[in-house]
Chain A
Amino acid sequence: MTITKDTVKKISKLSRIASNEKFEENMIKDLNAILKFVDQLNEVKIENIEPLASTVEQELIKRDDEVKKMNEKKDILINSPEENDDFYVVPKVIE
């Protein structure tokens, strides 16, 4: 498979990364090189092989249903680029 300009546009959009001509040109080159490299995997026989997502072989750790206040409101707002009356502020969302 190859990556075209439209593909770069589409995945930039999905990734929320602004794109322009130059960026697209560079990415078409780099991403196709990477794809060509990873296409080596087509040589591997993978029928009936279970995918491996994690090497950890244990039960999922679970937590009790207990409320713990580990931080104050200010801790989560202190680094925000913009806030107002304890809300995060973002440019208008168009639904």
Chain B
Amino acid sequence: MTEIYQLTLYDLIEKIKSKEISCEEATKSYVDRAKKSQKLNCFIEETFDQALDKAKNQSGKIDTSKKLFGAPFAVKDLFCTKGIQTTASSKMLEGFKPEYESTVTSKLWDEGANLLGKLNCDEYAMGSSNETSYFGNVINPYRNDKDLVPGGSSGGSASAVAAHLTSATVGTDTGGSIRQPASFTGTVGLKPTYGRCSRWGIVAFASSLDQAGPMTKDVRDASLLMEVISGHDNKDSTSAQIKQEVFSQKLTKDIKGLKIGIPKEYKIDGMSKEIIDLWDKGIEIVKSSGCEIKEISLPHTKYALPAYYIIAPAEASSNLARYDGVRYGFRAEGKDLIEMYENTRSLGFGDEVKRRILIGTYVLSSGYYDAYYLKAQKVRRLIKNDFDQAFKSVDTILTPTTPSAAFAIGENVDDPISMYLNDVLTVPVNLAGLPAISIPAGYDQNNLPLGLQLIGKSFDEQTVLNNAYAIEQSINFKPNFKDWWM
């Protein structure tokens, strides 16, 4: 029989509202499972007791107007949560308890969701394997003979959704941090259009790229969660002033007549046959759903990753300057102010963060700004132009999410570039500010999940969701891991 924790978010809430399942039962089901899943190292902070208390309170007073009523919900530890430790997986913020709640998470609680805890991620969201976390790496519920990474940076979130430790979650995506781990764990991850969700209260990595988004068991859940967390916020100057939408109500698998672009540049060197086959399978599915397939060209694709690795570190080097040991977080000793700063930041940040701060500082420093930062911004314009051009003739773009499946822990840690290449197919979307979703498309020969990515026009999440929904229904992906860690 189906356990409660196996239900989709959508079904769980239906059953709570129809009193088939009590809030308490729902929370308990997840808490029990999470407690038995310590090995995956998904949680940095657990708020199980508070969650159970709140669920008990909710049980008698079902509010059917609330979209997430009674849903047990853990979130990436990049979202500031009032009175609850928020670390961004960094020693720098160990013990930091903000006196405020991020806009996105407060929308979750307003709709009746119930905080289960804070989920592990790469330190300050910098990483593609969740191995840069100060609190240790997260393990993917899928494995072959070795423990595998869940992807990153929202790796704890992806593993937690895949392993049923939360009904759904929110992550953040700066260069692929929602979609790549979703692809590695057989889950759904949506990066909304930049500006669709408020960044207020989210620990910043690269402000012009960061975007929060849903990570769920299926596309319908993503559409529901998307309508909860999106919306204009006047506390974020880059928040889009557009009307709230009800994605879940408009969700349809009828995508007949849609024009779908296949960018030839995404067939990168060395891409495995399995991935190309899955991609072809996706193409066949949409064709049989009545869509028109168009080969398109996004000529500057190759330059997205290099541009990203200038722009994101540049912004990060400035965003992370506030972690100086003065007002909150970790402080190391020092005989004077400068020494205190240097020791604090040297001991408080991990290696990858320091690497990115240094490269970011370098590309902005006098004499190098034009050669690196400014050039990268110009390339960013070209990448956006490519998409603008393509979207004149297509409605969505279909690609694989990642160039490979999940890899073993430790496999790429010594080589930053090979690690960065994980994001080669996801990064262009962030540079262009577009919405994109990753959905599980099948398995490779090792039984590891692989994802397909659908990219949409600005603020056209609905079409992206509908398109993904149609493919999902046809593929009928089923998780196939065993609970080996219990």
- Judge A-B direct contact (beta carbons within 8 Å): yes
| Chain B proximity of A33: nearest CB distance (Å) | 6
A14, B361: Cβ atoms closer than 8 Å: yes
B365, A11: Cβ atoms closer than 8 Å: yes
Neighbour of A61 across the interface among B97, B234, B325, CB < 8 A: B234
B329, A79: Cβ atoms closer than 8 Å: yes
* Binding stretch for chain A, among B256-264, B371-379, B403-411, B439-447: B371-379
Interface size on B, residues (CB 8 A): 75
A7 CA / B321 CA spacing, docked (Å):
19
A40, B361: Cβ atoms closer than 8 Å: no
Contact residues in A for B378 (Cβ distance below 8 Å)? 44, 46, 49-52
Neighbour of A38 across the interface among B208, B306, B329, B361, CB < 8 A: B306
Neighbour of A44 across the interface among B300, B331, B371, CB < 8 A: B300
Neighbour of A8 across the interface among B194, B346, B358, CB < 8 A: B358
- What class of interface size applies to chain A in its complex with B? 35 or more
From 21 to 80 in chain A, residues with beta carbon under 8 angstroms from any chain B beta carbon are 23, 26-27, 30-31, 33-35, 37-41, 43-44, 46, 49-56, 58, 60-61, 63, 71, 75-76, 78-80
Tell me if B247 is interfacial: C-beta within 8 Å of chain A.
Answer: no
Contact residues in A for B292 (Cβ distance below 8 Å)? none
Task: Select from chain B the residue with minimum beta-carbon distance to A75.
Answer: B99
A71, B326: Cβ atoms closer than 8 Å: no
Task: Select from chain A the residue with minimum beta-carbon distance to B207.
Answer: A54
Q: With A34-B359, A41-B376, A91-B335 in contact, is A1–B371 under 8 Å at CB?
A: yes
From 300 to 352 in chain B, residues with beta carbon under 8 angstroms from any chain A beta carbon are 300, 302-303, 305-307, 309-310, 317, 321, 324-331, 334-343, 345-347, 349, 351
Produce 1/0 per residue, B408-426, CB < 8 A to A.
Answer: 0000000111001000000
Task: Select from chain A the residue with minimum beta-carbon distance to B233.
Answer: A61
B377, A56: Cβ atoms closer than 8 Å: no
B307, A33: Cβ atoms closer than 8 Å: no
B362, A41: Cβ atoms closer than 8 Å: no
A58 CA / B239 CA spacing, docked (Å):
9
| Chain A proximity of B175: nearest CB distance (Å) | 14
Contact residues in A for B324 (Cβ distance below 8 Å)? 16
Tell me if B297 is interfacial: C-beta within 8 Å of chain A.
Answer: no
Contact residues in B for A55 (Cβ distance below 8 Å)? 194-195, 208, 384, 432-433, 458
A28 CA / B341 CA spacing, docked (Å):
22
Tell me if B39 is interfacial: C-beta within 8 Å of chain A.
Answer: no
A63 CA / B300 CA spacing, docked (Å):
38
Tell me if B102 is interfacial: C-beta within 8 Å of chain A.
Answer: no
A46 CA / B303 CA spacing, docked (Å):
12
Q: With A51-B380, A79-B96 in contact, is A31–B340 under 8 Å at CB?
A: no
Interface residues of A (CB under 8 A from B): 1, 3, 7-8, 10-12, 14-19, 23, 26-27, 30-31, 33-35, 37-41, 43-44, 46, 49-56, 58, 60-61, 63, 71, 75-76, 78-82, 88, 90-94
Give 29 CB contacts A-B under 8 Å: A3-B362, A15-B345, A15-B358, A15-B361, A17-B345, A18-B343, A19-B346, A31-B359, A34-B309, A35-B359, A37-B305, A37-B309, A39-B306, A41-B306, A44-B378, A44-B379, A49-B378, A49-B382, A51-B381, A52-B377, A52-B381, A56-B433, A58-B241, A79-B98, A79-B327, A81-B325, A91-B337, A94-B336, A94-B337
Interface residues of B (CB under 8 A from A): 96-100, 194-195, 208, 234, 237-241, 300, 302-303, 305-307, 309-310, 317, 321, 324-331, 334-343, 345-347, 349, 351, 354-355, 357-359, 361-362, 365, 368, 371-372, 374-382, 384, 415-417, 420, 432-433, 458
Given A17-B349, A56-B240, 18 more A-B residue pairs with CB atoms under 8 Å apart are: A7-B362, A16-B338, A30-B355, A33-B415, A34-B309, A37-B306, A43-B303, A44-B303, A44-B375, A46-B375, A49-B378, A51-B377, A52-B377, A55-B384, A58-B240, A75-B99, A88-B326, A91-B334
4 nearest A-B pairs in the assembled complex, by CB-CB distance: A55-B433, A51-B377, A79-B328, A18-B346
